[in-house]
Structure 1
Amino acid sequence: MDDGSLEFREAAAAEAWATPIEALNPAQTDLFVNDAMWPVFERLRKESPVHWTPRGDEYDGFWSVTRYQDIMAVDTNHEVFSSADGIVLQSLEAKAESEKRPRGNSFIAMDPPGHDIQRKTVSPAVAPHNLQAMAPIIRAEAGKILDSLPIGQEFDWVDLVSKELTAMTLATLFDYPQAKRRELTFWSDMFTNAPGFGPAKSWAHKREQADACFAAFDQLWAERVNAPPKFDLVSMMAHAEATRNLSATDYHSNVVLLIIGGNDTTRNTISGSVYALNKNPDQYDKLRANPSLIPNMVSETIRWQTPLAHMARTATRDVELGGKTIKAGDRVVMWYVSGNRDEAQIEDPNRYNIERERPRNHLSFGFGIHRCVGNRLAELQLTIIWEEILARFPEIRLVREPLRTHSVFVKGYETLPVVIPYRN
C-alpha cells in the first residue's frame, strides 16, 4: 500500500465529514485519483442525496444525485432530464474550449426522436447474433495477448492486456486496420483527458489529434459510402437512411462516442477485475476453484468498479426530486459510482462479492433510452478474457497500487503493475 495515498484518504475522509454539508463538492479530481471520494458520497447519500453545488472555480453550479432510486428516476425520465446539452459534467475551461469549434451531436447527447433513429442504426453491430460471430475472434485474440505476456517479470496490465483487447474489438467493429488499432486507444485518451494528463499536452494538442482522428474516419466514410454495405459501424452509418446524410460534426460526434464507449468502460473493468481480486483474495480463491462464477464476477466487477463515474442531464422544467426543487436549465449529475454503493439498495455494497445474488443489479450501464448499447459486448469481452486467464495463469499478482485516471468521469487505471509468477 502506498502510504502517501493512505494518508491522503484518511485526511480526505476527515474533511468529508467535517465540511459543512452545503459546501461539500463531490466533483474533485484529486479525490478520484486517490480513490478517496467514498466518504463524500456516503455523507451525501445520508444527509443530502439531491445536493446543490454552486458555481466554483472549475464547474458551473450542478445538482448531485447520489442514491440508486433517485438516479433511476432521472435516468428513466428523458422528457424532464434531457441529454441534449451533453452527458458529462464539463469544466468551465472545457466548455469555453468546446465553444470555439462547431458542435455536433452524437445519439447519446440527443433526445427522441433523433436519438432513437441514430441508435437503431448502429445497434445491430452489437446484437446477439453478431456477438456470437465475434466471440471466437475475441477468444483467439485474448489467447494471443495472454500467451505473449512475460512470466516472472513485472509489466503493466493496462498496456499489454486491457488496452490491447479493447482496441482489437473496437477495430473489428469499425473495420479499422488492426495494425493501427492503438490509434483508437490513443484518441480515446485524448478525448477524455484534460490537458496535462494522459497523452493530452494542451488544448491545441487535443484539437490537433481530434482533427487527425476525424480525418481518418472521414476517409473510412468516403471508402464505405461508395462500396457495398458491410457490417461495420462506419458502413452502417454511411448507408442507413437515418444517418447517411449526417453533417460532418454529427458524424464526428458519433465517432467520438463509439470510440470512448467501446474503449474506456471495458478496458477499465478488465483492469478493475485484476485489482479487485487481488484486494479480495478470498474471492480470487473462489473464482479459481469455480470458474463457473466468471459471469457473476464480471457483473460484480462492473458494479464495484463503475467505469464511468457519472452521467449528466439538464432539467427541461422545474421538478421536485428528493424534496429539492430543480429549476429548468439546471445541470443534474447522476453519480453512478455512488448509486452502486447505496446501502438502501445493495446489501453490503462496499464488499466485493462474486457470489452476490442479482449481481447485474447495478447502474454502470445506465437505464432508460440511453442504457449502454454495448453492454453485452462488454460482458462478453470480460467473460472471455477471464476464461482464458484461468486456463493459463494460477495467479496475477498486483505489485503495487495503480495510477488512477485523472478524471471525475472516467473511473479507471492508467497503469496496473503486476507479475504473473508462473503458468499452468
Structure 2
Amino acid sequence: MEISDLLADAMARAEQDPYEIPLERINIANPFLFQQDVHHAWFKRLRDEAPVHYCAESFFGPYWSVTRYDHIMTVDTSHDVFSSEPAITIGDTQDSFPLPMFIAMDRPKHDEQRSVVSPVTGADNLRHFEPIIRERTIDVLENLPVGETFDWVDQVSVELTTRMLATLFDFPFEDRRQLTRWSDVATAVPGLGVIDSDQQREDELMECLEYFTRLWNERVKQAPGNDLISMLAHGEATRNMPPMEYLGNLVLLIVGGNDTTRSTMTASVLALHENPEEYAKVVACPELIDNMVAETVRWQTPLAHMRRICKVDTELGGQTIKAGDKVIMWYISGNRDERFTEQPDEFMIERPNVRKHLSFGFGIHRCMGNRLAELQLRILWEEILKRYERIEVVGEPTRTASSFVHGFTAMPVKLHPRLP
C-alpha cells in the first residue's frame, strides 16, 4: 500500500468511535488520533478494558500498549527487564540510517554518555541561565503585536525555545531557526507537511551533521567549555563517537530541548484560556505559577510515549510479554489514569501531588532538562502577568500529526494589555 493510501486509511480510522471497534483491532499509535485531539477516549477504553494491550498489526509492526500509571512506572524503572535499545519511539530505526543516542542505550554506556552532558542543566548553570532567559523572554514579549492576531507557536514558543537551544549549543545565533527545522524533520511523519519521505529526512539530518561537525572541529581545538558541543567533543565517553552516534545524540538534545518546552508553552496558554477560573487563581497568586507549569506538563504530556523492548519473558497486568516484544509506555494515558489522579481530564493548578506526573519519565532515563524547562516556563508566565490582562485564543490550534510529539504547529492568539 502506498504511503498516501496508508495515511488516508489512518485518517478515516481516527474518526471512528473507539467503543465500536473490537479491542484486538485498536491501533492507538495512529497519528491522526492526536492531530484531531480525540485520543483520550481511545486511551480510556484501553485503561478500563485492556490496560496491557496487544496490537498485532500496524504501520509500526506489532506492539504492546501500557496505559495505566502503575504499569508504566513498572516498565520505566525495570531496566533489567525492559531495554531502551535500539530506539525510544514506536517506529523502528532503519538499518541504513541508524541513529544511536544515549537515551536509547542501556547501562553502562547510557550512564557514561549522559554524565558528559548532564552538567549543562545542573544547578550552577540554571542560576547562570536565569537572567539570560528573562532578558530574552522580555525581548520577545515586548515585540509582540498587542490587539492583533498572531501565531503564538511561531512568535513565542518556537522563538524562545530556539534561542535557548542556541545558547546550550553555543550555536550561531543567526542560524538558530535551523535547529527548529532539524527538530521537526527528525520527528515528522513523511507525507504530512514537514517532509515528503524518509530520504528527505536523511538528507536534511546529514546537513545537520555536517554543520555540527564544523562546530565540533572548532571546539575540540579549544579549552573545554560549558556548551553541549564542547562537552561532547571533550568528554571521555563521547570524544571518539562515530559520526552517526554524534548525530543521534544531537537529535536527542535538539528534540529534547525544543519540542517538549515549546509544546508546553503553547499548552499553558490554551489551558488557561479554556479554564479562566484557574487563570484567575494565577493572577491573584503568582506563587502558583510553578504549580500551573507542572499541571500543564501533566495535562499536555508533550511526548506521548516511550518504547522499550522486553529482554525476557515477563508478566504485566495479567498478560505475558515475550522476549523481543515491543512495549510502548503511553505517558499521555498514564497522566490521565483515574486510578492515580482524581478528575484527570480537568486542568487544576492546585492539584495535590501535582509534580507526580509521568511526562519526564522515571528511572535512569528521566529527562535531564526538566528543571530548565520548568524555569523557562516560570519566567515566561512571570513576565506575561506583568504585561497582559489575558491571552485570548481566537481560533482552533493546529496540532501535530504524531503519536510521539504531542504538540502544536500553530495557535492564533490576541493579547489584551493590563489596564493602567
- Same structural fold, with TM-score higher than 0.5 when normalized by the shorter chain: yes
Q: Name the counterpart of 1:47.
A: 49
> C-alpha offsets along residues 149-184 of structure 1, whole Å, 9 cap, x if unaligned?
001110000000000110011110000011111110
Contact map agreement 1:151 1:423 (CA 8 A) in 2: no
Letter in 1 for 2:172: P
Which of 163, 170, 178 is the aligned partner of 1:175?
A: 170
Higher alpha-carbon deviation: 106-115 or 76-85: 76-85
Which of 128, 134, 142 is the aligned partner of 2:137?
A: 142
Q: Name the counterpart of 1:402.
A: 397
Contact map agreement 1:298 1:382 (CA 8 A) in 2: yes
Which of 251, 256, 265 is the aligned partner of 1:261?
A: 256
> C-alpha offsets along residues 183-211 of structure 1, whole Å, 9 cap, x if unaligned?
10111001111222343233332222111
Contact map agreement 1:189 1:198 (CA 8 A) in 2: no
Letter in 2 for 1:99: D
Matches within 5 A, 1:62-141: 62-90=63-91, 95=93, 98-101=94-97, 103-141=98-136
Letter in 1 for 2:343: D
For 2:14 and 2:275, how far apart are their aligned partners in 1? Answer: 23
For 1:341 and 1:54, how far apart are their aligned partners in 2? Answer: 25
Q: Name the counterpart of 2:301.
A: 306
Contact map agreement 2:289 2:381 (CA 8 A) in 1: yes
> 1:61/1:336 Cα in 2 relative to 1: closer, same or farther (>3 Å)?
same
For 2:25 and 2:198, how far apart are their aligned partners in 1? Answer: 30
Higher alpha-carbon deviation: 201-210 or 42-51: 201-210
Report how far residue 336 of structure 1 moved.
Answer: 0.2
Is 1:347 matched with 2:332?
no
Contact map agreement 2:19 2:45 (CA 8 A) in 1: yes
SS at match of 1:334: strand
Letter in 1 for 2:79: H
> C-alpha offsets along residues 24-44 of structure 1, whole Å, 9 cap, x if unaligned?
221111111111011111011
Q: Name the counterpart of 1:6.
A: none
SS at match of 2:389: coil
Report how far residue 421 of structure 1 moved.
Answer: 2.7
Is 1:60 matched with 2:56?
no
> C-alpha offsets along residues 189-245 of structure 1, whole Å, 9 cap, x if unaligned?
011112223432333322221111111100111000011111100101111111111
Over the matched positions of the two proteins, sequence identity in percent amounts to 52
CA RMSD of aligned residues (A): 1.4
Q: Normalising by structure 2, what TM-score?
A: 0.95
Which of 349, 354, 374 is the aligned partner of 1:379?
A: 374
Higher alpha-carbon deviation: 198-207 or 43-52: 198-207
Which of 266, 269, 292 is the aligned partner of 1:271?
A: 266
Contact map agreement 2:152 2:412 (CA 8 A) in 1: yes
For 1:55 and 1:218, how far apart are their aligned partners in 2? Answer: 40
Report how far residue 14 of structure 1 moved.
Answer: 6.6
Higher alpha-carbon deviation: 362-371 or 103-112: 103-112
SS at match of 1:312: strand
Q: Name the counterpart of 1:363.
A: 358
> C-alpha offsets along residues 2-25 of structure 1, whole Å, 9 cap, x if unaligned?
xxxxxxx9x968721121222222
For 2:318 and 2:24, how far apart are their aligned partners in 1? Answer: 15
Runs of 4+ in 1 over 3 A off after TM superposition: 11-14
Contact map agreement 1:229 1:239 (CA 8 A) in 2: yes
SS at match of 1:100: coil
Q: Name the counterpart of 1:4.
A: none
Matches within 5 A, 1:263-342: 263-342=258-337
Q: How many residues align?
A: 408
For 1:421 and 1:280, how far apart are their aligned partners in 2? Answer: 17
SS at match of 1:395: strand
Contact map agreement 2:291 2:349 (CA 8 A) in 1: yes
Contact map agreement 2:14 2:30 (CA 8 A) in 1: no
Is 1:246 matched with 2:241?
yes
Q: Name the counterpart of 2:217.
A: 222
Letter in 2 for 1:67: R
Contact map agreement 1:190 1:198 (CA 8 A) in 2: no
Contact map agreement 1:13 1:40 (CA 8 A) in 2: no
For 1:136 and 1:25, how far apart are their aligned partners in 2? Answer: 46
Q: Normalising by structure 1, what TM-score?
A: 0.94
For 2:16 and 2:397, how far apart are their aligned partners in 1? Answer: 23
Contact map agreement 2:14 2:32 (CA 8 A) in 1: no
SS at match of 1:259: helix
Report how far residue 364 of structure 1 moved.
Answer: 0.1
